[in-house]
Structure 1
Amino acid sequence: MSQSMSNPVLVVPHRGRGRRDLPAWWLALVDAVLLVGLGVLCAWPLREAYSGSRWLVAVVVGLVLGVTIAWLGARWRWGPWTTALAAAAAYLLVGSAVAVPDRAAGGVVPTADSLHDLAVGLVRAWREALTLPVPLGESGVVLIVPLVTGLVGGLVAALWLWRSRWPGLAGPVLGLVLALAASFGDVSAQAALTRGLVVAAVGVIWLRWRSMLHLRARWGRRILATLVVVGVAGGAATGLGSLGDAGAHRTVLRDHVDPPFDPHDYPSPLAKFRAYKKEPLRTEDTLFTVDGLESGTLVRFAVMDTYDGIVWNVSGGPGSAHDSGTFRRLRNDPDANAKASVRGEITIGSYTGVWVPSVGETLSMTPLTDGHVDSDAASELVINPETGTVAQVGGVKPGTTFEIEADVPTPLVDEEISSLEAEAGVSLPPPAIVPEELVDRVQRWQTDDGYGGGTGGALAQFLRDAFREHGFYSDGIDDDVPAGHGASRLAMLTKTTTPVGDAEQYAAAMGVIGQRLGLPIRVVVGFKVPPGGGDVRGENVTAWTEVKLKGVGWVPFEPTPPEDQKLRRPNDDPEEKPQPQVLQPPRVPGEPKEASDNLQQGDGQRKELDILEVLGTILGIAFDIAKVVLLLSPLWGVLLFKRLRRRRRRRADDATTRLTGAWHELADRMRDLGVRPVPGATRRESAYAAADRYDAVPVVTLAHTADRHVYGADEPTLDEAQAYWADVDTALRRIRKATPWWRRVAARFSLASVPWRPAVERLRTWAAGAAQRIAVRVRRRVAGIFRRR
C-alpha cells in the first residue's frame, strides 16, 4: 500500500498560500468528539459555581458550535474575518435559547431583548459571574460565561488542529479553558486531580497518535508508557498535596473582587428600631401583609452576633473568619414541600430596606410580582446559612409577595429549656464594651432573686425573667426615654433599680451580659405576627435574643417587659409647693435621643470614599509592582552579559584577539544603536555603513587599522592592542554624544548584539536530547517490568 493511501487525509487542491490538507471524515469525527469531551472535562470546575444543569448545556452547545464553525471554515477556506463573523452569528442565533431563554420568544426564537442581553452580556456577564453570590442561578446573563468559554475554546482548538502546522497546540488551548473555568469557579472542586489526570492522559495519547498516524508503531506500548508517566506525575501531585495544609482551599477570582452584598454597607436594623414606633409607621402604614402564618410567630429581619459598644451587628463578612456576614445565593430546596412545617405569604407594603422577612430554617422562598414569579428578584435573593437571614440585593420592592416554606421547630417549655446546656462549639467575639452598671445590676438580681447558678438554658431563663420582672416598658413616644443601644444607653438603663426602655434596649442588654457570662447568644430584630395575621405595622416590630442550646439549636428568649408594665411615679402630695431655685449642674451631652437611620453596622470601621486616598493607594501599589518588576527584570542580565563580554575581550591574553575584540565591541555598540550592516560584511563595509550616520567619528580609520594589524606581516603587541582600545573608547564617547539620551538608554538594554539565537538553538537541541534520553529510559524500565513478569 502506498504512503498516500496510508495517510488518512482528504486531499484538497491548494487555493492559496499556507493551506493544509483537511483530515478524512472519520479522523475529523474522532477529533470533534474528543475536543467536545475534553472541553467539557476542562470546563467542569464551573459546576461548583452554578446551580442546575443549564451551564453544562451551554458549555456543550458552545463547544459543538465552535468545532462545527472551525470545520466549515477549513472545508470552505474561510479567512479569519469570515470565521469570526460566522462565530458571532452562531452566538447570537443560538445564544438566545441557551443563555437567555426567558428573554426569547417561546424560549427559543431570538428577540430584540435577548439580542440586547447577549451583546451587553459579553462584558457584563463576566463581572456578574464573579460578584454575584454562588451558586449562580439560571437567569440573567451569567450563562453567557460557559457558552462563550465553550464556543471560543472549541473554535480556537479546532482551528489549531485542522488549519495550522502545529496541531499539538490544541492541547494548551484546552488547558486555558481549564484555567479559565477554575478561575470563575468556586473554592471547592470535587475530583479535581482525577479529572486533570484523565484530561492529560487522553489528550497526550490522542495528539501523539494523531501526529504519528501514518507510521507503524507499537501503540500498546506507547499508550502504556504514557499512562505510567501520567500516573507517576499524578502520584507525585497527590503526595505533594498531602504535605500541604489540608484545610486550605483553591484561590479563585471571586476571592479578589468586592462582594455584591456586604451587610456592613447598610444601616443596622436594630439602630432603626425607634423609627418603626413613630407615626405613621406605628399605626397607620402597613409594612407587610401576612397570610398563612400563625399569630405570635416571630418573623426575623436580621440576626446580629457582636457588639462594638455602639450598635449590634454581624461579626462576619467577606474575608472574615466568622460566617455571620457571608451571604450566598438563596437556592430553594427541591424537597421543601415535604420538609416544610410552615407555609405562608408575606407581601411588602411601605417597608423599605434590603432585609427580607423570614422564619425558622428557610427551605424555599419565591418572589411574586402581579401573581407571576419574578426571576430578576429571585436572582437577587441571598441568604446567610449561619443565621438564616435573607436579603435582597438592591432592596425589596413594594407589592412583591414572598411565598415562604420553612421548618420551624416546636417551641420548648421552660422545664425543658432549664435542663439544656449551652452549645460549646459556638465561637462569637466578646463584646467590645460591657457597662459596669449592667454587670452590677445583674449581680444584684442574682443575689436578690436567690439565683442558684447554672449554665445554658437556666442562665438564659434567669436573665430573661430578671429583665421582664424588674424592668418597665416605654417606647419613648409619650415620655422622655431616649432611644439607642450604645454603651451609655445600656448603662443608663441599668444604673437604677427601675430600668425603663423598649425591646431595643432590653434585647441589646441581655445579649451583652449574656456574652459576658459565656452564653452563645445573639440579638434578632423582626416582628411578631398580630392576632389573625393580616397587616403588620410598626407597633408589631420587636427584638429578642437567641441562645444556642445543645441538641435543639437556637432558642428565642424575649426579655422585654409587657407593654402595660409601665413605671408610675408616686404623687403623695397633690398640692404643689414652691421649691427653692437650685443651680443645676451643666448637662453632660450623651447619646442622641434618636438613633440616626444612617448609622452603619460596624460604625467607625468604614469611612467615606476619599478619591485622593484611593488614587494614592493605587499609585503606591503600582509603584511597588514597578519596583518588583524592575528588580526581577531580565534586562539586568543583558547588562551583566555585555559587561562580562567587554571585560573578556579587553583582558584577552593574545594581542590579536584583544585588538579584534576592541573592533567587535565597537561594532556591537553601533549595532545596539541601530546600525545594521549587511550580514557577512567586512570591517570596512561595516565602517562605511556607520560613517553615514556618525561622520565625526573615524570609524573607517579604525577598521583600516584593525585590518592592518590582523592581516599584516607582523603580529600586534599588547601595547598596540591597548592603544587601539583607547581609540575605540574615544570613538564610543563621540558616538554617545551624537546620540539622544533616550536612545543611549535603550541601547544599553538592546538585544541586537546579543547572540541569543545560537543559544536558543543549543538549548532546544539539549532539551530535545534530554527528552529523548528520558523517553528511552522510561521505555526500557517498562519493558524490563514486562520481561520480569
Structure 2
Amino acid sequence: MSTVLRPPVSPAAPEGSPSGRQRATEAVGGGRSGRPASGRSRASAARRRERSGAWTTTLAVGLTMGFALFSLSPLLQGIGWWFATMAMVVVLLGVSALLRARGLPEVVVVGVAVLLWVAIVVLLYAPGTTWLVLPTLDTITDISADLAAARESIAVQEVPAVAVPELTQLLVMSIGLIALVSDELATGLRVPALSGTGPLAVLTIAPLVRRDDPQVLVYLLTGLAFLLVLWTGARIGSGGRAKPTTRIRATAGGRNAGLALGLAAAAVAAMVVLPTVTPGLTSRDLAEQGDGTPFASTYATGVDPTIQLGRDLRRSDPVLSLTYSTSSEEGLYLKMVNLSDFSGGTWEPEAPYDGISYEGQEFGTPPGLAPEVPVTDVSTTVSIAGLRSDWLPLPYPSQQVDSLSGNWLITPNTFTITDLQGDTRGINYQATSLAVAPTAEQLATAGATVPDSLAGYLGLPPDLPPVIAQEASTITAGAATNYDRAVALQEYFRSGEFRYSLAAPASNGYDGSNAEMIAAFLDKKEGYCVHFSAAMAVMARTLGIPSRIAVGYAPGQTADSTADGQPVYEVYTDQLHAWPELYFEGIGWLPFEPTPGLDITPPDYSLPDYAQQSATDSSAPAPSSTSTATNSAGPDRGDVAAVQSAEQQVLAQVRGWSIFAGVLALIALVVLAPFAARRFVRRGRIRRLATDPQPGTLAWLELEDTLDDHRLQRSHGDTLSDVERRLTAENMVPVDALGRLRVAAEFEQYAPPGSASDETRARIGRDLLAVISGLDAQAQPRDRALARYLPVSLWRRRRAAASTGTLVP
C-alpha cells in the first residue's frame, strides 16, 4: 500500500522577509537583484567544483610519461626525439587541463584534445595535403607512408638506432595518444590506478629488446611520478584534502591515500628488486632461454645479423631449431634472408616490403643462371621446432614450396619468403630446389659484366676504410678472373692467419659488421662467421664482384633416423650461420665459406684445385657442403648467424606483446565493461544533481539501483519510508543522511520542479555519497565485488512514479 506524500507546511514568513520563491531565486542567482543563473552555468560551476585540483593530476601524468619515455634512451641516439615527443604531450595535456578548469563537459574535453592531436599531426607531418583545413585521402596516404618508413627503419637499424624523422613521428603520435588516454583515466574517469598502463607499456619496450639490467633510476622516477598521480587523483574535487563527509568513512577505491601509497611503493620495489633476485627473471636467464619457456631468449624471437649474434653463439644450452630430410647426397645450407645493402656502411637486410604474395607458384629461373649450367632437382622436407623468425629457412635456389599456409611474401630475385609474423614454430613444408654444379670451365669463363639490376650489390659507403680495398687488392694480385679472385679471398681467411673466436670481438670492441668493425677485424684477425662473411663480401665489392651475405643455417648433423628412406638432419641454435654469396654472370649466386674452425668443408668449386680440373669434366659435384659437426656444445658445432636486426626484434616483440596486450585488454573489457558502465551511470547522475529539476528523486533512484547491485531484496509495495526503516534498522547506512534523502524525494512529489537551491542540491549529493559509502563499508568482500563488477541495476532499472511515494520497476 502506497503512502500518499504531502509537502511539508512551511511557517508563515515574517512581514518584510523574502518569500520562499525569492529565497530560492537568491540562492540560485546569488541575490535579490541578481538574475537567476541558467542550468548551464550551474552545471559548469558544479563541474569546476568537482574537478578542483584535477590539473595537478594531469601534471603528474605528464611527469610519469616523461620519465617513462627516458627508458627508450638505450634504443635511440640523441635526445631530440624526447623533446619532440614531450612537446606533443605538454600541449595535449595542457589544453585538456585548461578546458576542465573552464568547466566544460568531459566529452568536450576529450573531443577537443583528439581534434588537437589530429591537427598537430597533420600540420607537422602532412601540411600540404589538406583541403582548406580538413585532412584528405592524401593526408592519410602521406602519414601512412611515414609510418611504413618508420617500421622499415626499425627493421634495419642497429641499436642504438638513429632517431630519423619517421621514428620521431611515430613516437610523437603514439606517445601523445597514450598520454591522452592516461590523463582521461586519471582525471576524467577517476581511476588513476589504471592510468599507469600507458607508462608501463612504454617501460616494457627496452627490457624486451636489449635484455639489459633494469634502468633503476628511470623506474624509480617513473614510480614516484605515478605515486603522485595516485595521490592527487584521490583528491580531485576535495580542495586538496580527503575528508569524510559523514560519520561513516568512505572506503571507495582510490580514496585511501595511505593504501595507494603502499601499493605503489611495493610495485616500484618489485620492478627494481625482483628481476635481480628471482631465478628466471635476470637478464642473463632471459638471454639463455630458448626452448619455448615463457622467458624466451633473443634467438627465440628472431636472430640478429650483427651485435646480437655473439649472444646467440654463446648460448650454453643449444636447443633444436628444425629437422629436415632431403634427396641431396649431402646436407644443405638453409637460407632465410640476405644482407645486401651496405651503402650506409652497415649490412642491412633486404626489404621484405618489396615482396609479392606467394601462393605456391614456381619461383622462376635464378638470376644469372645460364641454361647450360648443370643442375639437379632436390626435394627437401622441413619441420620447424623452436625457431621464431620472420623468414622461412629454404635451400637456395628454391623453385617451389608446398604445404605452406598463410599470407607469405616472396622477394623477387632473391627467392626468400617472409610473412613478417616473427614466429615460424610448428610449420612443416616441402621445398623443391636446384643443386647448381658449374664446371671448372664455366667458372673460369664466367662473365664479369654486372647487370643494372644488380648494381646495388656493388654499393659501398664513401667513407670505407682504405685498408679493406688495399688488403683485397694485395690478396688477389695474381688472380686473372673474378672467380679466381673469389677463391683467393676465401683461401686468405682459411689459410691459418685468422682464428675463430667468440670472445675477441666482444672484448676488443669490434663485435659487429659495419665498415669500422670490418677494418678492426682485419687487423685483429679473430672473429666469428659474421666477421668473416662481411669482410669477404666487402672485399669482393671493392674488386667489382657483386656480393651479399646469406644468413640461415649450416647443414646440421645426421640424426639416427630416416624419413621415406632419406636421412634426417637435426639443426640446433648454434648452427645458425652467415656466409657470403658472390655473383658470376652465366652462373648466378654461389655460396663461399671463409669461416675457419667449424668443421664445415667449403663447396668443391670454391677450392683452389677445382679450377685446375679438365674443362670437359662434367661430373663436378654439386655445390652443397658437408658438415661433420658433432653433438658437443660450444662453437665447434657450428656457427650462429642472424636474420633480424635489433629493431626488427623490436617490431617482432612489440607485435607479440601487442597481441598479448590486446587479448588482455579484450578480457579486461569483458570483465570491466559492466563496472565501467555502472560507474558512468552513477557519475552522470551525480553531475545531474546540479541541474535536474528533481535532484532528490534522482538521488533516490541511484540509491535504489545501488541496493539492487548489493542484492538487497525489497517488495514492490515498499514505500520510501519502508526502505528507510529497513536500512536504518539493520545499521547499514548513516541514519541522518538517509532520512534527508527520503524527505527530499518525498518533497519533490509536490514541490514545483526546479525549486531546490544550490545548497540543497549539494547536500543531496553529499548525503547520497555517504549512504552509498555506508552500504559498501558494511558489505562482505564478495558482495561488494558482485555489486561493483556484476551490477544487476544495468538490466533491472527503476523509474520514479510521478504520483506516489514509491519507486517501482
TMscore range, shorter length: 0.3 to 0.5
- Structure with higher RCO (Cα < 8 A, 6+ apart): 2
The TM-score normalised by the length of structure 1 is: 0.35
TM-score normalised by structure 2 residue count: 0.34
State which structure, 1 or 2, has the greater radius of gyration over its C-alpha atoms: 1
